[in-house]
Amino acid sequence: MKLRRKEFKRVVALEAVLFFAGLILVPLAFCLLCQLAESMFWRLKLKYHYTEGRARVEKVEVLPYETEFRVEVTHRLVNGKERHETSLNTEEEPPTRRTAAEAEALGSQYQVGQLYPCWYLPDEPDYYSVLLKDGLDMWWPVRAVWIPLLIGIPGWFGCRWSWRRWKKRGWGKETPS
CA gap 31, 96 in Å, rounded: 20
Over residues 19-48, mean pLDDT: 93
pLDDT tier at 2, thresholds 50, 70, 90: low
> Domain extents for the chain?
5-169
- CA dihedral (62, 78, 91, 142) in degrees, to 10, reads -160
Q: pLDDT per residue over 112-165, tens digit each?
A: 999 988 888 888 887 778 888 778 888 888 899 999 999 999 999 999 999 998
Largest CA distance in the chain: 87
Query: In percent, how much of the chain has pLDDT > 90?
Result: 32
CA gap 103, 64 in Å, rounded: 10
Question: Which residues touch 15 (CB under 8 Å, ≥6 apart)?
Answer: 161, 162, 165, 166
Q: pTM of the full predicted structure?
A: 0.74
Over residues 78-92, mean pLDDT: 79
